[in-house]
Structure 1
Amino acid sequence: MEPKQQDLQKGLLPRHVQFMALAGMIGTGIFKGSSETLNMAGPSVIIAYLIGGLLLFIVMAALAEMASAYPNVNVQGLVYKAFGYRPSFIIGWLYWVNWILVITVELIAGASFLQYWFPDVPLWALSLVCTAVIVGINLFPVKHFGEMEFWFAGIKILALTAFIILGALILFGAVPSSVNSPITNLTGHGGIFPNGFSGMFAASLVVIFSYGGAELIGVAVSETKDAKRVLPKVVKGTVLRVILFYALPILIICGIMPWNQVTSESSPFVQVFDMAGIPGAANVMNFVLVTAVLSAANSGIYATSRTLYSLAKNGEAPKQFTKISKNGIPLNGIMLGMLFILAGVFLSFVTPENVIGYLMTIPGFTIMIVWICICAAQLKLRKQYKDTASFRVKWHPYTTLIAIVALSGIFISFIFNADNIIGTIVCLVTLAVITISSFIFQKNKGNTDGNAKQQTRQIS
C-alpha cells in the first residue's frame, strides 16, 4: 500500500536501529583514526576511549529518557521543546552539516582502502563509485535499507570480534607470532603516557568523532516500531558494545606492537593480521575495512535525509524536502545530500594526501555541540514530563551536568588550540552562517505560522 504523503514509514525493527547506531560509530574513526590517536597519545588513548564512552553513555541515557517521555519526537524536536525555535534550527542544520562531513570522510577512506586493490585508479574516481553505491542503497524503502544496514554492520562487528579473539590468542602465545612481551609493548617506549596527559587529551577530538553516530537512534525514532519500549534497551546494548569494540582492540594493538611503530599508511588492524601470518589476511581485512566505512556512510545518508525532512516539515528548510517518494523515502533530501557530498569528494581531487586528516577533526567539534544540547535539553525537560518516563537517567542532575561540563571543557580547549585552527574556523563559520539563516527563516515564516507551530509541533 502506498504511504501517505508527508509520512515516513515505520519500517525499522529494534535490531535495525541498534545496528544502525553501531554502524554510524564503527567506521573510519576506529579502523583508520586509531593510528592517529595512537600517535597522539600512545597506550593512554585506551583511557581516552573509556572516558569518551562514559560521556557517550550519559548522552545516550539522556536521549533515551526524553524519547520515553516524548515518543516519536526526534533530537531536533526535543531541543525545540526545551529551548524553542532558534536552538532547534541551529542544531538541526548543524547535525546535517556534521553528517555531510562524516559521510565525505567515510567515502574517501573507503576509496583509499579500495586503492589497495586498484592502485592505479585515482582517489576521486573510487570515491565517486562509493557515493553511487550508498546513494543507491538509500533509495530502497526504509525496511529494506534497515535490513541491508543490519548485515553491513554485522560484517564489521564480526570482524572486530574475530580481531579481538585472534589478538588475545597472539598475546597469550596460542598463535605463533613475533610478539615476545606484550607488557613491554604497553609500558615501554615512553610508558602508558608517552606524550603526557596533554597527548591523551589531544586525542579526545578524534575519539569524540569516532563515537559520533550513536545519537542516530534519536533521528531513527520516527521510523521505529514501539520506540518507547525499544530505545532504552538499544541504548544500553549499543554503548556497551561500542566501548568493547574500541577499548579492547586498541589494547590488543598496543600489546602486540609498540605504539610508535603504528603507521598511518595502513590500518593497525591490517598490520596485526599480517603479523599473525594468516594467508590472505590482508585482503580479508581490507574487504572488512571497505564494508565498514561504507556502512557508516550509508547510515549518514539516512541521517542527513531524515534531518532535512524534519527541518522542512517545520518550516526551517524549503518545503520541497517534505516530499515523500512512492517507496516512502525523502528523495529530495537524499539528492541534496548527494550534491554536497560530491563537493566534499572533490577535495580528494584537490588534496588527496591530506583530505582525510583535514576533515576528520571537524565533525568532532559539531558532534560535541549536539551532545551538549541533548544533555541540556534533558535537564530542562525533566520537570515538564506529563507522564513518568519509563527510562530515567540515574543520579540526576549530577551525571548530566558532569557530561555538559566535560564536553564544554574539551570543546573550549580545542578552539584555543593552534593545531586545530582549520577545524575551529570551519566550525565557527558554519555556526555563524546557520545562526544568521535562522533569523532569515524565522522572518520569512511570519508570526501566524510560528504561533500555530507552537501549539501543534511534533517532529515525526
Structure 2
Amino acid sequence: MHDAPTAAGRTSSEDGAGPGSGEREPLSAGLKQRHLTMLGLGGVIGAGLFVGSGAGISVAGPGIVVSYLIAGALAMMIMRMLGEMSSAMPASGAFSVHAERALGRWAGFSVGWLYWFMLVVVLAVEATGAARIAHGWLPSVPQWGWVLIFMVVFTAANLTAVKNFGEFEFWFATLKVAAIVLFLVLSLLAIFGVLPDTEPVGLSNLADQGGFLPNGWEGVVSGVLAVVFAFGGLEVVTIAAAESADPARNVARAVRNAVWRILFFYVGSMLVIVTLLPWWSMQPGKSPYVAVLERIGVSGAGQIMNVVVFVALLSALNANLYGSSRMVFSLAERGEAPRALLKVSRGGVPVKAVFASVAFGFVSVLLNLKWPDSVFLYMLNAVGAVLLFVWGLIAVSQLRLRRHIERTAPEKLTLRMWGFPWLTWVVLAAMVTVLVLMVTDEGSRPQLLWSAGTTGAVLLIAAVRELRARKRLPTD
C-alpha cells in the first residue's frame, strides 16, 4: 500500500496528517445533511436526461429502458464504492485522495487533474446552453451577456460561505426532482386513461415496430453508449461531504438515499415515455419529455420544459464550479498543484481555487461561443470519455483500500460495497467493455481517441513528476 504524500512532502502514515487521515481540512463545515441528500439526488438530473435521452430512444427503441438499467447499475456500483471510501476517509479531493493513497502520487495527480479539466470544459456547455435559453426569453440581452451574468452570480455564490452553495443546490435539486415526480404522475395517469380526453394506452407502443428490442441487443448497447455519461455528476456529493459537520455519516446517508431513487427517476421516466409514445417518432435533439407533455395535452409544454432544463443547466454549472474548485484545492494541499491555490477565506472558502476554476471555465465558454465546431469541439472530445477513466480508478482504489481499512480500522466501514471483491471486478470488466464498444462505434470513436490522448498526456506528466521526485529523495 502506497502512503499518500502531504503538501509538505511527508506521508500521511508518517505524521497522521493529510487528507483522509481524520484531521479536518481548513474548509468550512457549513453543508447540512439535507444539502448533501438533494445534491446526490439532483446531481445527475440534467439536460442529458431531459433532452439527450431522445437520441438513446431513437437507437434502442423501448430497449432504452434496459440501456438505462445497465448504465444506471454501473453508476450505482461506482457510487457505492465511492461512498464506502469517502465515509471511511472523507476529504475534499475524494477519489483523487483515495487513488493517491491506494496507488501512489501518479494516480491522485492524474485523476484529480483529469476530473478538474472535465468539469471546467463541461461547464462551458452548461453556461452556453442556459444562455441560449435565456436569450430566447430576453433577446435584448446578448448570449455572451447572459454567460457573463451566470458566471458572476455563481462565482459570487461559491466565494461566500459554502452553505450558500448548499442552498442554491438544494433548491435547484428540489425543483428538478419535483418536475420529474410530477412528470411521472401525469404520465401514469395518462397511461391508465385517468386524465381528461385520454384513454388507456395499453402496450402497443412497446410491441409494435419490432417489439421491445426493435434493433436487438445491438440497439441496447448503442443506447448504453448514448446515456452512460449522463450519470456523471454523482461524484460531487462525496467531495461536498468533507465540508459537512459529520462527513462519514452524512456521505453514507447521501449515497444510500441517492442511488436507488436516481435509478427510479431515470428508468421510470424512460418506461413511461416509450409506453406513451411510439419510439420511432423520437427526434434526436428534441426533448422526449416535451413530446409526452404535448401528447398529454399540457399547454406550453415546450416552455415548461425550457424552464426545467434552464434550472438543470444552472444547477450543473454551480455544482461544477464547486467541484472543480475543491478538487484543485485538494491537489494543491497535496503538493500536486501550485501552493498559491491554498488560500482560504475566513469563511473557509478556497478563494484562489475558485478563481482558478472560474477563469479556465470562462475561457472554455469563450471558445464555445467563438469556435463551437472546431477548437471547443476538440476540447469537448478530449474530456468525453474521461469519466470512464475516473470511474476505473475509483474501482481499483476501492479494491486496494477496502482490504487496508479492514486491517487497520474496520469500524470505519459504515458503508460497504456489495459483493466485494467480485462485484468490483465485474464493474471494471463492464467499463473495459464500454471502452471497446466505443472503439467500434463510429460516433463514439473520436471522443474516445481524443480522451485517450488527454489521459495519456496527463499520465506522462505524472510519470515525469514521479521520476523527478525519486531523484530528489536522499540515498542511503
TM-score of the two chains, using structure 2 as the length reference: 0.86
Report the alpha carbon displacement of residue 311 of structure 1 after superposing the two structures with TM.
0.5
1:38 aligns to 2:62 (yes or no): no
Query: Equivalences for 1:56-71 in 2 at 5 Å?
Result: 56-71=75-90
Query: Equivalences for 1:11-410 in 2 at 5 Å?
Result: 11-72=30-91, 74-118=94-138, 123-176=143-196, 181-350=201-370, 363=383, 365-385=385-405, 386-388=408-410, 389-410=413-434
**Secondary structure at 1:135's aligned position in 2?**
helix
> Which is further off, 358-367 or 211-220?
358-367
> Which is further off, 199-208 or 423-432?
199-208
Distance 1:393 1:14, change over 3 A: same
> Which is further off, 303-312 or 271-280?
271-280
Output the CA distance in 2 between the equivalents of 1:225 and 1:350: 43
Amino acid at match of 2:77: I
CA contact under 8 A between 2:332 and 2:341: conserved in structure 1? yes
Output the CA distance in 1 between the equivalents of 2:425 and 2:129: 36
Distance 1:195 1:117, change over 3 A: farther
Query: Aligned Cα RMSD in Å?
Result: 2.8
1:9 aligns to 2:28 (yes or no): yes
Stretches of structure 2 that go unaligned for 5 or more consecutive residues are 1-23
**Secondary structure at 2:113's aligned position in 1?**
helix
Output the CA distance in 2 between the equivalents of 1:120 and 1:200: 44
The Cα offsets for residues 317-370 of structure 1, whole Å up to 9 and x where unpaired, read as 111111112332222222222232223323443455899998877655111111
Distance 1:281 1:257, change over 3 A: same
The Cα offsets for residues 142-186 of structure 1, whole Å up to 9 and x where unpaired, read as 012101210111011101110000111111111245777452222
Distance 1:69 1:366, change over 3 A: same
The Cα offsets for residues 273-294 of structure 1, whole Å up to 9 and x where unpaired, read as 2232234443333212101111
Report the alpha carbon displacement of residue 229 of structure 1 after superposing the two structures with TM.
1.7
CA contact under 8 A between 1:111 and 1:123: conserved in structure 2? yes
% identity of equivalent residues: 32
Output the CA distance in 2 between the equivalents of 1:276 and 1:24: 28
**Secondary structure at 1:203's aligned position in 2?**
helix
The Cα offsets for residues 364-399 of structure 1, whole Å up to 9 and x where unpaired, read as 511111111111111112221112112222321111
Output the CA distance in 1 between the equivalents of 2:54 and 2:357: 29
Higher relative contact order (CA 8 A, sep 6+): 1
Amino acid at match of 1:30: L
Output the CA distance in 1 between the equivalents of 2:241 and 2:151: 26
Report the alpha carbon displacement of residue 251 of structure 1 after superposing the two structures with TM.
1.3
Aligned length: 447
Distance 1:420 1:121, change over 3 A: farther
The Cα offsets for residues 391-431 of structure 1, whole Å up to 9 and x where unpaired, read as 22232111111111111211232134332233123202211
Output the CA distance in 2 between the equivalents of 1:173 and 1:363: 45
Report the alpha carbon displacement of residue 22 of structure 1 after superposing the two structures with TM.
2.7
> Which is further off, 177-186 or 33-42?
177-186
CA contact under 8 A between 2:364 and 2:376: conserved in structure 1? no
**Secondary structure at 1:25's aligned position in 2?**
coil
CA contact under 8 A between 1:24 and 1:300: conserved in structure 2? no
Amino acid at match of 1:66: M
Output the CA distance in 1 between the equivalents of 2:289 and 2:132: 15
Amino acid at match of 1:334: V
Distance 1:118 1:355, change over 3 A: farther
Distance 1:342 1:371, change over 3 A: same
Q: Which residue number corresponds to residue 411 of structure 1?
A: 435
Q: Which residue number corresponds to residue 14 of structure 2?
A: none
Output the CA distance in 2 between the equivalents of 1:133 and 1:406: 40
Q: Which residue number corresponds to residue 21 of structure 2?
A: none
Report the alpha carbon displacement of residue 440 of structure 1 after superposing the two structures with TM.
4.5
Output the CA distance in 2 between the equivalents of 1:88 and 1:239: 25
Distance 1:319 1:353, change over 3 A: closer
